[in-house]
């Protein structure tokens, strides 16, 4: 329900990417400064028992806990591309803006609860859109003119290279 609610918010409330981007940056600061309190707040909302694992003390739940810089770096690639396309280049596309804002807002929610156990369950709420938000501007929008194909290759190579590096050197 969260991605649908954020898509509706991106269509009606969050009209510009600057707003979603600013909220995403603030969510990083909030998570760094008060991450535990934010996680406790969402766990205490008690919609049902599914949020109870946020505050569980079982240390064997996930290989790494705490603020996941690697996950943040991974998830920021579509946001950085969106910043370049929408803010730096000034390219406006309604579909892309809706996709980008939805992804950015969903990712901001995950960043605020990143310290929680099983926070990857919230990460997928934005990451399922990852390929679409990354590919849409590269395939549909004229960002770099005749260099579009070369830039597409560079971005995809950087993405695959980052994934390979993290798998080879960091997660092993």
DSSP secondary structure string for all residues of 143-170? SSGGGHHHHHHHHHHHHHHHHHHIIIII
What one-character-per-residue DSSP string does 52-91 give? GGGG---GGGSS--S--HHHHHHHTHHHHHHIIIIIIS--
Instruction: Tell which wins on pLDDT, 3 or 108.
Output: 108
Q: What is the dihedral of CA 28, 78, 122, 63, to 10 degrees?
A: -80
**pLDDT one-digit tens code per residue, 39-94:** 777 667 655 455 554 555 444 444 455 677 878 888 899 999 999 999 999 999 99
Mean pLDDT calculated for residue range 13-35: 92
Mean pLDDT calculated for residue range 7-32: 92
Instruction: Check: pTM over 0.75? Answer yes or no.
Output: yes
| 118 three-state secondary structure | coil
Q: What is the dihedral of CA 45, 106, 116, 43, to 10 degrees?
A: 0
Calculate ∠ Cα 70-57-53, nearest 5°. Answer: 75
């Amino acid at each position: 329900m969260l991605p649908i609610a954020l898509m509706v918010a991106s269509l009606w409330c969050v009209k510009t990417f600057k707003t979603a981007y600013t909220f995403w940056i603030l969510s990083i600061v909030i998570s760094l400064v008060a991450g535990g309190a934010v996680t406790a707040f969402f766990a205490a909302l008690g919609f049902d028992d599914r949020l109870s694992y946020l505050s569980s003390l079982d240390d064997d739940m996930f290989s790494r806990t705490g603020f996941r810089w690697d996950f943040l770096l991974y998830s920021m690639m579509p946001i950085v591309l969106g910043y370049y396309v929408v803010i730096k280049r000034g390219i406006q596309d309604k579909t892309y803006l809706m996709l980008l804002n939805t992804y950015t807002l969903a990712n901001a929610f995950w960043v605020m609860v990143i310290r929680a156990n099983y926070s990857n369950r919230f990460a997928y709420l934005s990451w399922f859109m990852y390929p679409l938000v990354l590919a849409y501007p590269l395939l549909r929008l004229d960002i770099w003119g005749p260099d579009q194909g070369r830039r597409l290759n560079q971005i995809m190579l950087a993405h695959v290279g980052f994934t390979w590096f993290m798998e080879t050197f960091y997660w092993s």
